[in-house]
Structure 1
């Protein structure tokens, strides 16, 4: 494959103006969201000097996604998705404006800040699933993996650079200014959404309330490819999530050097960005199921070797490979889920995928921490990586549809 063929495929940006506008909006709003993450953590710490309160920030963000996600997904499958996205985006922007106001006022109780974060996360619980329904409607199936890879680049770019930019703005304009910049970035998000056509779900609308949620769960039970894709993600995150173990492994094997710990945290992101930039190597392949399984196995294998590596440079190389494998798996999984889900159910399945993506890493970090407390960080990492590899092999062996699914047109 030539270098041009290996680089990220930008065909979706050229061929679909609505996707291009939507992607630009995602880029800007993603940076703003990361700046708000920094500002919230800084403000809560400055007001409380308590890790309990800073930990509560994560709970305020995650709990609404888990509690309301499936119900929001059911609403996505019953209404005009463009209008719903505009509503949820307006809600998020409004919360950012209120955060900016309280930031400029100062001396606001920390529970008010957490309350605004939680309300904003309620809008994210609906905005996340509805955003995942757009790409399959804007791009042909053969371009879907490339479109998801471009979205992944936007996400990783925001994760890498957004916090640093947030720190600079925080030092310059304070917490209120940081929140205000986030609110302004929603202007680009609206630019992307207003350029979309009306997007009512195809087929029969979702039934209201709990019945619609149960219909979505029933689909997951009877759809082996989608179920297998989500189980693969759970296997990778619950069994082998490494982040909580980095400080312990650094202390056990590498003398507790903070510089090494910082490199560990960066190496996974570096690998992910590299895989995104070179995503043409796998998004152009016709079998995303096989690619996803291979990526998940590589993730578990890399973390197993990292847990056993005696040299920090070998460990860093393993983490770079793990980050690249994670991106390969995430992009391929997204393509599998969206291509194998009827449009009428896409909101509910996207909500389930969002919940898995939120809860899996948290449970994985908890599992690793508990096991490491009873054994060692190295054992928890190596055993988790091996369990991940075995679980992914089991999912692949029992789900032939994952291995056989192709994006190539028949005939």
Structure 2
């Protein structure tokens, strides 16, 4: 890891996204590889449901894709974090990257051969989810070992912004494939693009240095010996006795479970805006706001009262979502959802920075595993809540009430447990320093 501590210039660049982490070669390679791979993964994310519906002509089977991805993520997310704390993280990334690539090649092969098996599609999606559940906490946990601690917020912002941009432009590019070719040709092309682009992420991982568990000052390994139930419980126990991190997870769950409105987009698009392209704008609005928020995020790395800023961002998310639910014009709803997306970007960066800096290296993998489960589970529980409330009271009530309640609960939680409000940016624990 190299020291990159030069001051950033004043003026407009103070607001532009902080690019200093890109001066670190290892981080730069990982950022490039992961960004390109994430863009490629969007092709598969579009192609799989398109293929499933073409095979079954049944949206129920398309819905099962989400189950096939979500269940392995929940099961293997915590274990994957424990593996990241036990093994050399570079080796873990290499193995899981190979598994991810192999599952994508499997999708390509079955499309070329015309296997036409919905069950095989679900199996390959589940394999991808298992590999992602292990690789994601590992990839996140290595960040403080690639860049200086003061650049962790900037590096996290770069990651989130790049991934959000991929989520915006990747599906659009995939759509062009299916608009230009028949599905029999478009599916292999989409899967092949993903497989080819993922090779860049593998190259970046190969170029990483070895990253075994860090020793303590007395020379003994600080990580558990095995990635078993005991090490997972140990990680959960650490989280339960660390109020700042526990509250950061709790406030994120509040935001996602109570205020995520995406399950209501189809209903609102039809009822208020006559359907058509409106639903596409609604589904892209939050991601667009997060991307723009990342591009103007230079100020995030200079925040010292990160806990207070995290609470403010979550409250801002809830209020913006509630205001969007009241909008009667499509452009206004999209703008307000984009504001919510920008607030979500800020909260995600701050929460990730706190996790990476506050926790010792021996715990980072397991905490990132918990983070993966929360990130995956929160929005899906939010979909369930929104749908259930909408069934009883209507989509507008479900949308607006969720945003307002989440903002209110975030304030109450922060006031009742002020450890999060008092949190300021800190230096890493002593066992993290080289």
Alignment-derived partner of residue 187 in structure 1: 199
**Partners of 2:103 and 2:124 within 8 A in 1:** yes
CA separation in 2, counterparts of 1:408 and 1:75? 27
Find 2:289's aligned residue among 266, 271, 278: 271
Alignment-derived partner of residue 211 in structure 1: 230
Deviation of residue 59 (structure 1)? Answer: 1.1
CA separation in 2, counterparts of 1:260 and 1:181? 29
Find 2:336's aligned residue among 314, 318, 340: 318
Write out aligned runs for 1:327-346 (5 A). 327-346=345-364
CA separation in 2, counterparts of 1:107 and 1:193? 33
**Partners of 1:232 and 1:392 within 8 A in 2:** yes
Alignment-derived partner of residue 147 in structure 1: 155
**Partners of 1:282 and 1:291 within 8 A in 2:** no
Write out aligned runs for 1:307-386 (5 A). 307-386=325-404
Pair 259,180 (structure 1): closer, same or farther in 2 beyond 3 Å: closer
List runs of 5+ in structure 2 lacking aligned partners.
Answer: 1-9, 215-220, 429-434
CA separation in 2, counterparts of 1:141 and 1:395? 28
Query: CA offsets per residue over residues 2-43 of structure 1, 9 Å max, x none?
Result: 2111000000001x1000000000111101111111111111
CA separation in 2, counterparts of 1:99 and 1:249? 34
Write out aligned runs for 1:6-405 (5 A). 6-14=15-23, 16-170=24-178, 171-172=180-181, 173-202=185-214, 203-206=221-224, 207-252=226-271, 254-405=272-423
CA separation in 2, counterparts of 1:33 and 1:227? 31
**Partners of 1:271 and 1:322 within 8 A in 2:** yes
Pair 372,12 (structure 1): closer, same or farther in 2 beyond 3 Å: same
Task: State the TM-score, normalized to the length of structure 2.
Answer: 0.90
Task: State the TM-score, normalized to the length of structure 1.
Answer: 0.95
List runs of 5+ in structure 1 lacking aligned partners.
Answer: none
Deviation of residue 409 (structure 1)? Answer: 6.1
Query: CA offsets per residue over residues 70-120 of structure 1, 9 Å max, x none?
Result: 112111111101001000001101111111111100133111111111112
Alignment-derived partner of residue 217 in structure 2: none
CA separation in 2, counterparts of 1:179 and 1:259? 26
Find 2:13's aligned residue among 4, 23, 28: 4
The structure in which a higher percent of residues are helix is: 1
Instruction: Point out 4+ residue stretches in structure 1 off by more than 6 angstroms.
Output: none
CA separation in 1, counterparts of 2:264 and 2:227? 43
Deviation of residue 332 (structure 1)? Answer: 1.0
**Partners of 2:82 and 2:227 within 8 A in 1:** yes
The CA RMSD measured in Å over matched residues stands at: 1.7
SS at match of 1:280: coil
Query: CA offsets per residue over residues 112-164 of structure 1, 9 Å max, x none?
Result: 11111111211111011100111111112211110011001221111011112
Deviation of residue 396 (structure 1)? Answer: 1.7
CA separation in 1, counterparts of 2:120 and 2:74? 21
CA separation in 2, counterparts of 1:168 and 1:9? 32
